[in-house]
A and B are shown apart, each in its own frame.
Chain A
Amino acid sequence: MKLHYEVDGEEFAAAGQASGNIKKMLKQLGIASDVIRKISIAVYEAEINMVIHADGGTVDVDIQTDKIYIALKDTGPGIPNIDLAMREGYSTASDEVRDLGFGAGMGLPNIQKNSDFLKITSAVGVGTTVEIEVNL
């Protein structure tokens, strides 16, 4: 089963809408609560990143028999050094974002912690794709 969501990059207040919808859908499908929790946290952090750093993007969810695959794609500025970005505490977020409770360099480590597979593909000036898998 495949789901597709658009993330609006204009409004920070709306960030998390896609994650909320995905969570609701997974609940309706009767997916185990620990799996839903992992996916909700990972996708929410990724969605926040997409709004903070890029101008929104798309989220595609593929519910397979043994796992749930999620791809978040944006056409933002890209990540110059992914290893550095993965480091806990490293952040390029603005003070405005920090005031909202994010941007402390915890997003990507949080995504990794809550996924069974994580792949980040990024090109500067082109965009970033975050692929997440959580096993069922």
Chain B
Amino acid sequence: MKISKIKEILTADTLAGEERIDTEVICACGSDLMSDVLAGEAKEEFVLLTGLVNPQVIRTAEMVDMRAIVFVRGKTPTPEVLELAEEKGIVVLSTKCPLYIASGLLYTNGLRGAGSVETAL
């Protein structure tokens, strides 16, 4: 799914990385715990949905080469955080949707999590 499609589904605003909005992602993960993100399967073709807006979210995305971050529940990071995202080439979106609804909307539109549901269970 293109990041632009995610933006459309979640009626999101682009806060950083506008020029990369047509990049494809194959999976998503939703978490406020960065250690869980680092411990998981998240990698370059991923988008992260999170309610955390501190610089460590961008750093975490950087470490696993994540393409995009969606800040949920209308949260807006500081200009320094967005600057860091631009520097690292990460697309940042912001949606008013809460985490669960945003995840559900993307999932029902075909954007799955890492691995199969069977593995996750």
- Interface size of A by CB at 8 A reads 22
CA A109 – CA B39 in complex, angstroms?
9
Report A38-75 residues with CB < 8 Å from chain B CB: 40-41, 44-45, 48
CA A48 – CA B56 in complex, angstroms?
9
- Across the interface, do B35 and A16 meet the contact criterion of CB distance under 8 Å? no
| Cβ-neighbour of A106 out of B35, B50, B52, B57 (below 8 A) | B35
Write 23 A-B pairs (CB below 8 A) sorted by A numbering.
A12-B54, A13-B54, A13-B55, A13-B80, A16-B56, A16-B59, A19-B63, A23-B62, A37-B63, A37-B64, A37-B65, A100-B34, A100-B52, A101-B32, A101-B50, A101-B54, A106-B35, A106-B39, A107-B35, A109-B39, A110-B35, A110-B38, A113-B39
A residues lining the B interface (CB < 8 Å): 12-13, 15-16, 19-20, 23, 37, 40-41, 44-45, 48, 100-102, 104, 106-107, 109-110, 113
